[in-house]
Structure formats: C-alpha cells, structure tokens
Amino acid sequence: MEFKNLVSKVLVESLVDQWIQEDIPNFDYGGFVVGEKVETAVLLCKSEGVVAGVPFFQGIYDKLGCQVRWIVEEGTQLQPIAQVAEVEGPVNKILMGERISLNCICRASGIATRARYLQNAAKSAGWHGEIAGTRKTTPGFRTVEKYSLLVGGISTHRFNLSSMVMLKDNHIWSIGSIETAVKRARQACGFSTKIEVECRSLEEGRQAVQAGADIVMFDNFESDALHRAAAALKSQYPHVLIEASGGITVDSIHSYFGPHIDVISLSSTIQVGNHLPTLMWDWNASTKYLL
C-alpha cells in the first residue's frame, strides 16, 4: 500500500523548509568548498529493516533540485546489504540534504521496523485487534513518526488533541466526575468524534460507558486483571471498544493479546531506540561512506 499518497505535498514542503532552515541558518561552508559538480550517491541499507520515510526523503531532494531513483518500494523488508535509492545532482545540494535526509529515513525506518515486528507478533498470536502508537512523539517530527507506524503495519492512534477526545485522569480529577467530563466533551465534539476515557478500575469503565464513552482505556493493568475486567465490561456492553495501555512493552505485549481487547497502545513503538543506524551513502566515484 502506498502511504506516500496520504501526505500532502504542502505539508512535506513545510517540514522540509523547517529542517533545512534549522541545519543551514546562513552559510553552507562545506557546500562552497565542493561546488556544483554533478555526482550520484547511492543510499545503502546495511542492517535488516523496513524502509520508510520515502515522501520526506523525496521532498528534501525535490526542494534541493536533485533527482531520486528509488530501487525498492517503501515498506519492503530488506536484508543487508541492499541498495535503496540513488540521488543525482550538484554535489553541494546532495551534501546539503545528506544529514536531514538520513535523519528522516533512518528514524522512519527504525519505527517501521519495530511496528512490523509487533504486527507480525499479533498475527502469529491470532489476535483480532489493533496495535497503536501514542502521542508521545518527538516535537516537530510527529508526522514522520506517525506515518512510519502506518508503513510498518500498525495504527497511529489519535494524531493530536483535535483528532479524538481522550479524557485522562487529570481531566476527571479537575472536572469532578467521569459522567460530567464525558457529557461536557460530547457537547463540544458532537456525534462525529469518538470519546475515550482512561479508567483505573472496572467500575470506572462502567461509568464511562454509561456516560456515553465510545472507548474505555484500562490503564496500567496487569495482564490477568485486564482480561478479567475487559470480559466483564464486554459482557454488559459488547459495543464498547476496549484499549489496554500503560507499562506494556515489546517483550510483554503477548500477554495482553485477548478476545476482549480491541486496541493495545504502547509508547515504545516510537520512543525507545527506534533508529535504523546503517542507512548510509556510497559515492559511485569512490569507496568513501558519508554518515
């Protein structure tokens, strides 16, 4: 599936402008040294992983006036050593985009690789639900990171505070009750937006559904307690979606798969060391690698 068509050109151009401005606020001294001789650089993958981040990598070199030829499709699971793409253009422009393009594609590919692992784990377990990321993303890089989850095969969860209502413990404590919080949220979001409530017990889950919540998140439950609470709530309210979150890791996620769990969200899909470190340039004219 070509997720690159999901991202608007206007958004990519806006992000690329920010990244280039951050990296080159005034003079490009190295670019001055090498000049505008046309070169070709090859993007190599030297460790196993899933390629992601194509529209952002492409957008960087479109902006810089270089041509990119993709050798593999986004979402491909690669075995090292593999050629991913070739970039042709003035050498100063290739080098101008080198670091930010590698930052994008390495970060995106690392996240997609982790996401693919989790997707495969769910399939192997025969679980029917969705694994999702969270809103715990890198400031200014959320679009790339959320996009990469999709390429890897899992869900983004809500994209921002405007895309879904999530009432967490602090909201409930501030307003006074789950019922009041849900009803007030529904006044603002109407019928077209789902409301999710973070719950610490089965009783809170019941209160949330009775107040009109669409999704109940059981937060920081041990897996056995989670499955008991989910089964009890589904027996009363089979239409409600149940999400498990909090303290779930790649190593422990298998114990959270269950027939009454619809969504499992974990922040480590994005946060913990997700970087494919050995995507690098190889210059056709030499054996030198540029990292």
Active site residues: 136
DSSP 8-state code for residue 270: T
Instruction: Count the residues in the chain.
Output: 291
Q: What whole-number distance in Å separates Cα of residue 107 and Cα of residue 276?
A: 6
Q: For the chain, what is the largest distance between any 2 Cα atoms, rounded to a whole number of angstroms? A: 71
For the record, the structure tokens of 6 come out as 């999901």
Instruction: Mark residue 40 as left, alpha or beta (left: phi above 0; alpha: psi -120 to 50; beta: remaining).
Output: beta
For the record, the structure tokens of 86 come out as 């070739």
Contacts of 108 (CB under 8 A, 6+ apart): 52, 53, 56, 144, 145, 147, 148, 151
Mapped onto helix, strand or coil, the DSSP state of residue 129 is: coil
Strand runs labelled E in the chain: 38-45, 49-50, 67-70, 77-78, 82-90, 130-132, 165-167, 195-199, 215-219, 241-245, 263-265, 279-283, 289-290
Which amino acid does the sequence have at 290?
Answer: L
For the record, the structure tokens of 22 come out as 């951050």
